[in-house]
């Protein structure tokens, strides 16, 4: 196995490793450390069955089933399908997912540790994903802002995501009342400590974070907007250009991401994603 950085900002490519095959404990630990350091890991030229995708993902923790149950791979509820492909007129996955900056499942009491996306079909030169290094975003803040933020909490709410990022776009069936009832608003620290690297990272995102706890509404909005703009500056962001056979493993505890929708319905895009359970942010 060879692990090499792919940009000065974040990310590393892992080569000479077939993740379809079982990994020993040493390899898993090496990948876990690299993920915590680099925020995302890229594996090229992979070929995975659903069983192999799930088996690889489970080496890093238990898997969560996405709350949007209509987009799970039949027979494999651990795999969330992101796709614009239709078969017999019916979508095989969720179209237009993630076209806003977010960290997966930040609206849960125990958000996702990481996500593992496998590209089966991609439109050539389109459908990239942007990633932001939230370690660096925090570290670049002036000391007085770090001091202001250190004890603050923010609310994350899937209903807010549904209302502001999903509803009305015609790409995804609205979440049901039952689904929204399973995901009540939660509070998380604005600055969280990564449990493995022990580094601090910003933990707010435009897609799911609604307001700061105990801060006046107008001030909360201004502070969050400033943090959101700061976190996606060029100093902290890199772009992954997908190829069929890519597997990208990103750490939701120290990064956020945004999918770019620059392709149309005739450009087939089919991705499988597993989501690894995490712990309570601190």
Residues that are catalytic: 102, 104, 257, 273
Instruction: Determine how many CB atoms are found less than 10 A away from the CB of residue 113.
Output: 23
Sign for the CA dihedral angle at 86, 79, 161, 119 comes to negative
Q: Which long-range contacts (CB under 8 A, 24 or more apart) does 60-66 make?
A: 60/28, 60/31, 60/32, 60/113, 60/114, 60/276, 61/113, 61/114, 61/276, 61/277, 61/278, 62/276, 62/277, 63/274, 63/275, 63/276, 63/277, 64/105, 64/108, 64/112, 64/275, 64/276, 64/277, 66/275
What angle is formed at CA 252 by the lines to CA 209 and CA 104, rounded to 5 degrees?
55
- Is residue 3 within a helix (H) or strand (E), and if so which, with residue range? strand 2-5
Q: Please state, in angstroms and rounded to a whole number, the distance separating the CA atoms of residues 106 and 207.
A: 10
Q: Please state, in angstroms and rounded to a whole number, the distance separating the CA atoms of residues 126 and 171.
A: 18
- Is residue 155 within a helix (H) or strand (E), and if so which, with residue range? strand 153-156
Nearest to 83 by CA among 97, 64, 100, 98: 97
Q: With contact defined as beta carbons under 8 Å apart, do 82 and 234 qualify?
A: no
Give the number of C-alpha atoms closer than 13 A to the C-alpha of residue 281, restricted to the C-beta side. 32
Give the number of C-alpha atoms closer than 13 A to the C-alpha of residue 26, restricted to the C-beta side. 1
């Amino acid at each position: 196995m060879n692990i090499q950085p792919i940009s000065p900002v974040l990310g590393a490519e892992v080569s000479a490793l077939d993740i379809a095959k079982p990994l020993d404990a040493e390899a898993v630990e090496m990948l876990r450390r690299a993920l915590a350091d680099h925020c995302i890991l890229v594996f090229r030229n992979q070929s995975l069955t659903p069983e192999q995708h799930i088996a690889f993902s489970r080496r890093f923790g238990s898997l969560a089933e996405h709350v949007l149950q209509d987009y799970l791979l039949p027979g494999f509820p651990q795999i969330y399908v992101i796709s614009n492909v239709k078969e017999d007129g019916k979508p095989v996955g969720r179209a237009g997912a993630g076209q806003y900056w977010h960290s997966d499942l930040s609206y849960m009491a125990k958000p996702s540790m990481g996500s593992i996306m496998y590209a089966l079909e991609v439109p050539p030169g389109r459908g990239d994903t942007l990633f932001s290094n939230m370690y660096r975003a925090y570290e670049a803040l002036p000391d007085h802002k770090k001091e202001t933020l250190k004890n603050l909490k923010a609310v994350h709410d899937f209903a807010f995501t549904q209302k502001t990022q999903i509803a009305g776009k015609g790409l995804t069936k609205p979440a049901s009342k039952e689904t929204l009832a399973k995901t009540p608003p939660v509070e998380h620290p604005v600055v969280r400590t990564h449990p493995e690297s022990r580094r601090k990272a910003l933990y707010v995102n435009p897609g799911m974070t609604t307001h700061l706890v105990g801060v006046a509404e107008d001030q909360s909005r201004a502070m969050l907007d400033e943090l959101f703009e700061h976190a996606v500056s060029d100093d902290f962001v890199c772009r992954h250009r997908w190829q069929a056979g890519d597997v990208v493993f990103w750490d939701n505890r120290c990064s956020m991401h945004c999918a770019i929708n620059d392709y149309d319905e005739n450009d087939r895009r089919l991705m499988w994603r597993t989501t690894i359970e995490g712990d309570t942010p601190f």
